[in-house]
């Protein structure tokens, strides 16, 4: 690692400066805007999440949940992003109503939580380990920042500023302050967002406190448990690895515990490292990121295999049928990777961000935008289906806010360079070398690997253009105004960098070869031994029972089997499927025999593989990502 203090040198181009007009993403963003956001508002209304903010609860009535406020906040954030790119007077009025409702629930001292104001006011801040008060506060703060940036209105921003100021009086190292932190990280990254939009450094300092204090001894969660009259050893999770407070941040070497908490924590650590130039904190984040991606991540970009802790177990433990792989965790991986990308423009971070987006994230929402996965297994017997909402409804609005803000993940810029991380058709407008430059992308990615970029500006401008060469790509070609450009001497951290005096209407073409590939797992990943997964470009594929006339576990993919990519406009809103001739075991001569010494017989079996993100959008049935494979030992 470089001895130079890390800085956030590659700043995302704001989503308000980006347009998306893309064959793949535009329909999903439209469905998110027209169906998911209204559907989630209706669910918040029907389940009492909005009414809880009226603070009219009475004993005997259903109790507002401890973290309902966070669901409303994430919905507000999603709606705000949508307003930023697609103005909608009706949605704007609805957002104003919800903001007013939240403001009305704020207490004179600045405190804002529907449950602990209306139901158990005497228990405010008494169980940070389990009760999510600061987590809810963090999501409210993020919503306030997003609403202000999208609309220019300070109505919610002023509310969350009051709340953050109050929190700053309660928590910290002072003699009359609580030396606590939240059991579910979120406020840490939210405070840094608030600092960036207000310039008030006290929010950065408070975030730093929460990050640095976590895991120190004496352990705060032990102290508060005893104050409640509880034995700290009775904590159900048995270990503070569950919430990453087992040791201080810089001493952590493995990704452990609850996956979403980990992703939000590490995201905040990267933000803090960039703001303070903290090399050791960034080194910790890089160490943890490497541990995750080399030992604990599914091929889909899903993370967290265990239902027990909604998180991590041990190295190379990635079961398929019982995979938890929470949608929010994959979204958190996008957040973390995107932040690392801002401190070091390295393609490995964008590769993982892309893998999660196209697979582990997008699988979380049905094509109709109104049903959702909480868990994303890589194999199913046919009983796992999306739901319209959940009692713990973190995933639907988390999906909505990410999809609505996707434009902010495509490009970053430094003082000298513009970097393209995701290949999505549309445009971005930014100022480079004193000139306003509009960069236009034209592509059918992820179905095809050719990307055309055109630069539109009034006068020449000199800067570096960085184009990611994805890790899945084995061969790429680059052209500037039709002339081939050698890649070998232009590669920097996985990006092809071209610096020149760009002229109006200059055209860059990047051709990424996109063959069908068979992915194998590390030899220590026992659940996938002797199997392969299919991938084309960034898209991971699976088999569904609806396309096959025999159980999927019988199907074997021979080493010699040819596979072809075929676009099906009539299937799953238009997808490329992979078709080929496999083989399947034939049980017709087994009778009632359970075991025998005679080998099974095989029959030809045509297969059709569909993108993983599209599964469970048709009739119920089996699904598998990993297929039995016939391999040759050389």
Asked if residue 256 lies in contact with residue 241, where contact means CB atoms within 8 angstroms, the answer is: yes
Residue 276 backbone dihedrals phi, psi, to 5 degrees: -100, -5
328 is catalytic: no
The three-state secondary structure class of 171 is strand
Any idea which residue has 């045509």 for tokens? Answer: 606
605 is catalytic: no
Any idea which residue has 């596979």 for tokens? Answer: 563
| Dihedral angle sign, alpha carbons of residues 291, 293, 299, 301 | positive
Active-site position among 394, 395, 473, 605: 394
Structural tokens at position 428:
């971005």
How close are the terminal C-alpha atoms of the chain, in Å? 38
Q: How far is CA 448 from the centre of its chain?
A: 24
In angstroms, what CA-CA distances link 88 with 146, 323, 472, 615?
A: 16, 39, 39, 32
Q: How far is CA 176 from the centre of its chain?
A: 38
Burial annotation 341-366 (CB, 10 A radius, 16+ → b, else e): bbbbbbbbbbbbbbbbbbbbbbbbbb
Q: How far is CA 500 from the centre of its chain?
A: 35
The three-state secondary structure class of 169 is helix
Residue 436 backbone dihedrals phi, psi, to 5 degrees: -80, 125
Active-site position among 133, 186, 275, 310: 310
Measured at the CA of 168, the angle between CA 163 and CA 169, to 5 degrees, comes to 100
Structural tokens at position 300:
């889909």
Catalytic center residues: 310, 394
């Amino acid at each position: 690692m470089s001895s130079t203090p890390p800085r956030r040198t590659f700043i995302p181009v704001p989503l308000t400066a980006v347009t998306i007009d893309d064959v793949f993403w535009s329909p999903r963003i439209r469905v998110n805007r027209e169906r998911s956001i209204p559907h989630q508002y209706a669910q918040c209304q029907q389940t009492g999440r909005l009414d809880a903010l009226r603070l009219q609860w009475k004993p005997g009535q259903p109790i507002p949940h401890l973290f309902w406020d966070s669901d409303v906040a994430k919905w507000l954030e999603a709606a705000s992003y949508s307003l930023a790119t697609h103005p909608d007077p009706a949605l704007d009025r609805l957002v104003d109503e919800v903001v007013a409702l939240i403001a009305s629930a704020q207490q004179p001292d600045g405190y804002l939580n529907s449950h602990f104001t209306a139901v158990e006011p005497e228990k405010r801040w008494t169980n940070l380990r389990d009760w999510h008060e600061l987590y809810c506060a963090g999501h409210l703060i993020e919503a306030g920042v997003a609403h202000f940036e999208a609309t220019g209105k300070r109505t919610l921003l002023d509310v969350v500023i009051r709340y953050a100021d109050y929190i700053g009086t309660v928590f910290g190292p002072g003699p009359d302050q609580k030396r606590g932190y939240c059991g579910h990280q979120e406020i840490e990254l939210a405070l840094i967002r608030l600092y960036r939009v207000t310039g008030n450094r006290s929010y950065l300092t408070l975030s730093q406190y929460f990050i640095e204090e976590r895991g120190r001894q004496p352990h705060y969660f032990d102290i508060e448990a005893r104050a409640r009259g509880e034995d700290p050893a009775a904590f159900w999770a048995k270990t503070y690895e569950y919430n990453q407070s087992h040791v201080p941040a810089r001493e952590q070497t493995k990704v452990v515990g609850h996956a979403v908490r980990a992703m939000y924590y590490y995201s905040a650590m990267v933000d803090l490292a960039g703001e303070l130039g903290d090399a050791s904190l960034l080194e910790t984040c890089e160490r943890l990121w490497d541990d995750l991606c080399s030992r604990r991540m599914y091929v889909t970009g899903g993370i967290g295999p265990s239902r027990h802790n909604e998180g991590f177990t041990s190295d190379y433990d990635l079961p398929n049928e019982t995979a938890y792989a929470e949608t929010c965790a994959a979204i958190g991986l996008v957040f973390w990777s995107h932040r690392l990308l801002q401190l070091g423009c390295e393609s490995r971070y964008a590769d993982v961000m892309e893998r999660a987006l196209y697979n582990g994230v997008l699988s979380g929402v049905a094509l109709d935008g109104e049903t959702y996965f909480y868990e994303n297994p890589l194999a199913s017997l046919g009983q796992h289906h999306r739901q319209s909402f959940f009692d713990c409804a973190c995933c639907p609005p988390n999906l909505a806010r990410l999809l609505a803000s996707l434009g902010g993940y495509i490009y970053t810029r430094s003082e000298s360079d513009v970097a393209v991380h995701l290949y999505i058709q549309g445009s971005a407008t930014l100022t480079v070398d004193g000139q306003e430059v509009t960069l236009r992308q034209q592509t059918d990615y992820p179905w095809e690997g050719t990307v055309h970029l055109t630069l539109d500006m009034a006068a020449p401008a000199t800067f570096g253009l960085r184009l990611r060469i994805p890790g899945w790509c084995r061969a790429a070609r680059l052209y500037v105004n039709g002339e081939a450009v050698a890649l070998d001497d232009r590669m920097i951290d996985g990006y092809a960098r071209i610096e020149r005096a760009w002229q109006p209407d200059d055209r860059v073409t990047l051709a990424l070869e996109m063959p069908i590939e068979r992915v194998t797992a590390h030899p220590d990943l026992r659940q996938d031994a002797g199997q392969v997964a299919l991938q084309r470009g960034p898209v991971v594929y699976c088999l569904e029972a609806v396309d096959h006339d025999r159980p999927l576990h019988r199907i074997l993919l021979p080493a010699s089997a040819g596979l072809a990519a075929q676009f099906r406009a009539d299937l799953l809103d238009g997808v490329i499927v992979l078709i080929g001739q496999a083989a399947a075991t034939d049980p017709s001569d087994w009778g009632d025999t359970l075991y025998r010494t005679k080998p099974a017989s095989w029959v030809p079996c045509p297969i059709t593989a569909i993108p993983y993100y599209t599964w469970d959008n048709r009739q119920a049935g089996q699904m598998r990502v990993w297929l039995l494979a016939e391999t040759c030992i050389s």
